[in-house]
């Protein structure tokens, strides 16, 4: 994913999944001129199908939408973990929201696979949790954990 299609929010104070989706939708809408309400509804609808938590405090809410023409990502670290109904029962404090064009099936799967692999690395999770600025988060993500 090109760096210009990536947002980061560092140590955000968002007490619930609902508030997280609201804030992320607002940030994505503002940065990419997309409708925040539609983004929010798509994220909520996807989450109702089943938790997007992948374990170890990480979630990757994702959906294919008609709203965008290329993939958009938003990495958020939280100052306090929130419940995401994860299979491992760990609350989530690292969230990567991924929106891809509806017709981009393979790109969607490829990006999800790449993200899941990256977030399965304990050193990457530790580095993301230690990041203190949005720019540091961005560099960690773009450099695969090496800031």
Catalytic residue among 62, 80, 108, 114: 62
90 is catalytic: no
Burial environment of residue 55 by CB neighbours within 10 A (0 to 12, 13 to 18, 19 or more): middle
Instruction: For residue 115, give the DSSP letter.
Output: H
Is 114:144 a contact under the CB 8 Å cutoff? no
HEC per residue, 17-73 = HHHHHHHHHHHHHHHHCCCHHHHHHHHHHHHHHCCCEEECCEECCEEEECCCCCCEE
Give the span between the Cα atoms of 72 and 55, in whole angstroms. 22
List residues with catalytic annotation: 62
């Amino acid at each position: 994913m090109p760096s210009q299609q990536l947002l980061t929010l560092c140590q955000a104070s968002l007490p619930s999944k609902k508030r997280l989706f609201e804030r992320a939708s607002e940030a994505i809408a503002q940065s990419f001129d997309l409708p925040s309400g539609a983004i929010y509804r798509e994220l909520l609808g996807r989450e109702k199908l089943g938790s997007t938590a992948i374990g170890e405090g990480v979630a990757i809410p994702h959906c294919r939408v008609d709203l965008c023409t290329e993939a958009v990502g938003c990495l958020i670290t939280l100052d306090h973990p929130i419940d995401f109904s994860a299979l491992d029962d760990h609350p989530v404090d690292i969230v990567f929201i991924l929106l891809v064009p509806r017709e981009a099936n393979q790109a969607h799967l490829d990006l999800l696979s790449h993200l899941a692999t990256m977030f399965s690395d304990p050193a990457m999770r530790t580095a993301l949790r230690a990041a203190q600025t949005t720019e540091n988060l961005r560099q960690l993500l773009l450099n695969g954990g090496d800031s």
